[in-house]
Structure 1
């Protein structure tokens, strides 16, 4: 070993763990900087043309590759969904739990008659109707919020109309 590497080794032995880590990161940074500088300083015309062709080809082909890969992924997801549906049909499942929760594009809405039916059965308990009252309360609360928001927007529009008339 030469004297410089021996002195660095002795300095590294004196440091704590954080100092060693910092010294190692600094060494990696210096090596990367030197390598990058020497790479571009020693490039020939042939090397520059090669680099430009590779980067340009990547920039030109990347959008097409992403589009193609996205299309393949979409097709594979559709294929998987089709297989899942066929599997459910074989098992005899008419509706999945996710469809009951409103996922996969299928929603289960209660008509007004059904809501009244559930409101009439307040004293009776049934395992199939758990949470039905909460769902109905949630729907009515959302309807009320939407109505309030619509009234607020209407009032804002009325105020804007009045302001337009006052400015003219």
Structure 2
């Protein structure tokens, strides 16, 4: 049987013919013993499958936990309150250092840090002013003209 001269269409039609012939022959040649065996196999699989899925789920969960422990990943809840904003609270030591030959973008990083510091300072001042205004308004309610 040579496949060199066959086209893709010929090959697919031959495979289709083999599939239909073998499938129909598989069920016509079954004896009662074979039917019973087939029913037992399918029934056992359908009864055991939920347990197999749960077992696989447990094994996969354990594998994910081990991977997370190995890589040192932390959850979002562990990060709350621990995120540091670049340039906030940093000392200005790196701004005073001399530029190194391969240190591209240093000036941009310094500008960004300064911008973040100034923006945070402005926001803190605005919030402080709002709180002071609110407390003054509350006090004015109780004052009599």
Q: Structure 2-normalised TM-score?
A: 0.49
Q: Which has the higher contact order (CA 8 A, sep 6+)?
A: 2
